A and B are shown apart, each in its own frame.
Chain A
Amino acid sequence: MNPYWHELLSRLKGRTTIAVLIVTALTLALGFSSITSVTSDVSLTGGGFEYYSAGAYHVSLWVYDIAGLPVSGVRIDLTVTPPQNESVFPPPPPPPAIYNETRVSDAAGAVDFVVAAPHSEYTVDVYTHYSPIPKAQLNGVLSGGFFLGPSPAGVVTILGPPVNTVESGYYLLEDRLAVLWSGPNGTVPTGDSVQACAGVYTYGVGPGGPVNCTGLVPVSLGPLTGFVTLLPYPSLPLPPLSIYQQPVLFVQIVNASGAVLYLTGLSTAEGPTTSPGYVVTGPGPGLLSGISFFLGLLLPLEGFVVVYWSYARPRLTGTVDMVLVRPVTRRGLFFVRTLAAVLGLAVSSAVIVLALDLGLYELLRQPLPGAFLAPLIGGLLAAGVSFAALVLLASHRLRSPSAVIALGVTLLLALSLFWNELVGLFEYATGTSLGSSSYTTALVQSQLLAPPQLPSLVVGLLTLASGATGGTPYAAAGVGAPVVATAAVLWVAVPLLLTYWCVVRRD
């Protein structure tokens, strides 16, 4: 076997692999810990209504996602029990359930239950299963239960949130209104439609203008086609407002003859929310910016450990001499050991990113965007290799392994953990006010000077590319992909070439 193949295989079977395994496992543990602490932005919401008729409660539920779209395949366990007598002590054992049924939502997100029971008071417990998204956030009736009371026959009771027939804001990521409505006795509404008009609310004295659409020209938003109807959010010209007034959107449901069946006023503050706050805490750039902090620490640490064991320590303790005296060249040995370190880091970077991607999919059903994968792997690899190359170069100026360890740890702490603090101190000393835009710009630009910051830079660019607000400082600082790529190449190439020169020319 070629001696270099022999050395490469020996390296990959030795401490390099151990370091790769340990750091990869540690990184994944931290990564998964971050993922599991994230609330999914796939929020399942249940709403519905119930009425009593012909000796049975009729319970109809609908399941929506965060965009107000129906979600099929949601399994709902419904358990109905008589109320427990809590006036005695000790309390009696819970009464047996009179109804226990499991049903799955259909394509319209609807689930219907018919509970044959005397007209009385009951407690309903709901247990929701949605296997595709184990961490789906549950709201409304899906998250707990509700109460079935003695309502007069023919009266429809709305169950839990949404408490209003017409909802906006929370359920709307898009410019739409989700209208929940039913016909008499829970039938599908027919001939009903939705209209909207712009009104005014005056602080302190109530509506200062029209209190409904009377006298105004309502805009027709469309007919109701089912229990849940998604309609476009109206864009209406507002009347002139004083500082004591705010606009109100009146939404009314009318029947075929034009009679108003329901009226509600929506504050414009409840209008469509295109960037709800919880999205940035979900998977994607928001999650990655949190993870990139320890990726920027652990991958360089792995690079440091690998080159310390495979190169710096053997060189400084003289153990490499027992290999150099064999039929190998110092150039070849340097190349093979560097290659082994790069391979280890590449495997580690790829496994970490792909495993996190898989974890995101398994836990949240939201994998990272495909276009994120290659830049993330590249950023991690560049951070690990460039830091390793720095240590490699430094080891040629040092006299003992302990000095290399001390320098490596110091550099790691300074360039990774405490980089922002160091830049902050520098900016403070030079008169830049902390928190100002020029400070943020300096912070972003300073990341180009520290190899362990490369993952953060990559995540920043991905955030910028995805349009999220976290990418704004990168655009303001003029740090784009070409700049980051150039910095990564320089950080990898320059220390490696200088070390190569030391190996080939100076030893």
Chain B
Amino acid sequence: MLVAEHLTKRFPGRLQPALDDADLELRDGEILGLVGLNGAGKTTTIRVAAGLSLPTSGRVLVDGRDIVREKRSASQHIAWVPELFPFDPSARALPLLVYFAGFHGLRRREARAVCRELLARVGLGAEEQGRVRDFSQGMKKRLSLASAMIADPENLLLDEILNGLDPEGIAFVRRWVLDLRHRGKAVLLSSHQLGELEAVADRVTFVHRGKVLRTIDRAELARAGGRSLRITLRNVDAAALEYLGGIGPIQRDGPVVWVTHPTVETHVLVGELVRRGYEVDEVRAESTSLEAYFLQLIGAAK
């Protein structure tokens, strides 16, 4: 379990804090999705939680241990998998993992056995002596996952690890995190691939400009869901938005406008738009997605 309380992180020379009084709770046996735009504070949250970056104020408790004041003890219970695997490109897979294992008190022979098994589990059993620079993006992610699992920690912080993966790699990570949840681990998964998060996350926390906007669970997401219309207009203008806003909350992305919970029937809406002189390319009925919810949420925050 990981609890972040009133986390604030300011970087020198920047007026806006990267994290602004953020609270977060990651429970055992759950996958918590972390969603936000680029620069929202997701990576900073994870780096502070992993003990890689010092908070300006606030604290992070990992299974009750302060990650700053009790770093060694807290770090025994946490692992971090970054978006990009940051290690010396000339390093070889197995020796690298054995080196990491030494920090967890594993003796060399034991470490080699554990690391070999981990490499086999992530599908890199044949690449034990391969150099990191020769690995593909997916292989590096797998190696990174293996390095995180050396001490089999209770809490895992996965930062954008789905980026750059092919469908097979995404499926592998999905199975991996579901297995972790099954084993009672607490998994924080930040991602831009909201569809994937929607599929695996038990709860989702939305961050924007360093602030935690809201955390919702699956039930809340389901409740927030409902019919929405995806309308594509060739000549969308302010008057069109005013009209659409009158029949439900709207979100616009170029020529596409989403209307959540419309108060009129679809054929009536189309007829009215045509009557007002708008060229309607497409009107599609959708159920509310995490993406739409997120866009709606940050739209409200703006």
Chain A interface residues toward B at CB < 8 A: 1-3, 6-7, 10, 314, 317-319, 321-330, 505-507
Contacts and interface: CB of A to CB of B under 8 A. Distances in A.
Contacts of B51: 324-325
Given A1-B102, A1-B107, A10-B102, A328 B88 contact: no
Interface string B86-126: 11100000000001101111010000000000000000000
Given A7-B103, A322-B100, A328 B72 contact: yes
Most buried by B among A1, A318, A325, A330: A325
B247 interface: no
B133 interface: no
A507 B54 contact: yes
Contacts of B72: 3, 327-329
Interface stretch (B74-82, B194-202, B276-284): B74-82
Contact of A325 (B79, B99, B105): B79
17 contacts: A1-B102, A3-B72, A6-B102, A318-B86, A319-B86, A319-B87, A321-B52, A321-B80, A321-B86, A322-B86, A325-B51, A325-B78, A326-B104, A327-B71, A327-B75, A328-B75, A329-B72
Contacts of B47: 321
A323 B71 contact: no
A329 B69 CA distance: 9
B54 A1 contact: no
Nearest to A318: B86
A3 B105 contact: yes
B47 to A, nearest CB: 8
Smallest CB-CB A-B distances: 5 pairs:
A326-B103, A6-B102, A318-B86, A3-B103, A327-B75
Contacts, number: 66
The binding surface of chain A is classed by DSSP as helix
Given A318-B86, A319-B88, A325 B50 contact: yes
A507 B51 CA distance: 11
B129 interface: no
Contacts of B52: 321, 324-325
Contacts of A7: 102-103
B60 to A, nearest CB: 13
Contact of A321 (B54, B79, B82, B103): B82
B53 interface: yes
Given A329-B71, A329-B72, A323 B88 contact: no
B52 to A, nearest CB: 5
A38 B82 CA distance: 59
A325 B75 contact: yes
B73 interface: yes
A6 B79 CA distance: 19
Nearest to A507: B54
Contacts of A325: 50-52, 75, 78-80
B44 interface: no
Interface string B21-59: 000000000000000000000000001001111100000
B288 interface: no
A326 B80 CA distance: 9
B87 A507 contact: no
A6 B86 contact: no
Given A325-B78, A328-B75, A507 B53 contact: yes
B147 interface: yes
Contacts of A324: 51-52
Contacts of A6: 102-103
B107 A322 contact: no
A6 B71 CA distance: 18
A3 B103 CA distance: 4
Residue from A326, A329, A505 having most chain B Cβ neighbours under 10 A = A326
A328 B102 CA distance: 11
A327 to B, nearest CB: 4
A329 B76 CA distance: 12
A319 B53 CA distance: 14
B104 A322 contact: no
A219 B105 CA distance: 87
